[in-house]
Amino acid sequence: MTTRTRFTALALAAGALGLASMSTGCSSVKLDQSGDMVAVYQFGEFRMLLNTTAPLATAAAQKVLPQFDLFQTSHTVTTYTSVLTARNRSDQKIIIDISEVNSRQTLLKIRWGAGGDLVKARRLYEAIEASLGQ
């Protein structure tokens, strides 16, 4: 095998690996039966829009943390963003990143643990959304 052939084979393998990693890293999560509401789960992070402001989303997130047996370890709050960090009993780190997109919508990003946990992150999102309605 010549050097040029090896280089071509390595380039093709790297390209295939890159395409495979891009196609498996992101998935859509249906939030209702009709499929009209869809969240994104990408690289261990759950993302969805909330129809509220960042301060209200932050208050709702802080309110539901004890329901999941989570202890808030830190928070950073500005006018349009906040980051809440919490831990569960097994010392997993949960990060809730809240960013106001416009005056009526806020992007909520949840990472449960180092690699992410879709089921737990989705439940936390649903509890935060339900808390906004109260």
Is 118 a member of any domain? yes
| pLDDT tens digits along 38-69 | 889 999 999 999 999 999 999 999 999 999 99
> What is the rounded average pLDDT of the residues 89-114?
96
Tell which wins on pLDDT, 20 or 85. 85
The answer on pLDDT for 25 being more than 90 is no
Q: Which domain holds residue 126?
A: 27-132
The CATH number given to whatever domain includes residue 115 is 3.30.310.80
In a domain, 55, yes or no: yes
How many structural domains are present in the chain? 1
Q: Is residue 40, in this structure, part of any structural domain at all?
A: yes
- pLDDT at position 94 over 60: yes
Residue 105, domain member (yes or no): yes
- Entry pTM: 0.76
1 falls within a domain: no
- Looking at the domain assignment, is residue 54 inside a domain? yes
Burial classification of residue 31, based on how many CB atoms lie within 10 Å of its CB (0-12 exposed, 13-18 middle, 19 or more buried)? middle
- The answer on pLDDT for 85 being more than 50 is yes
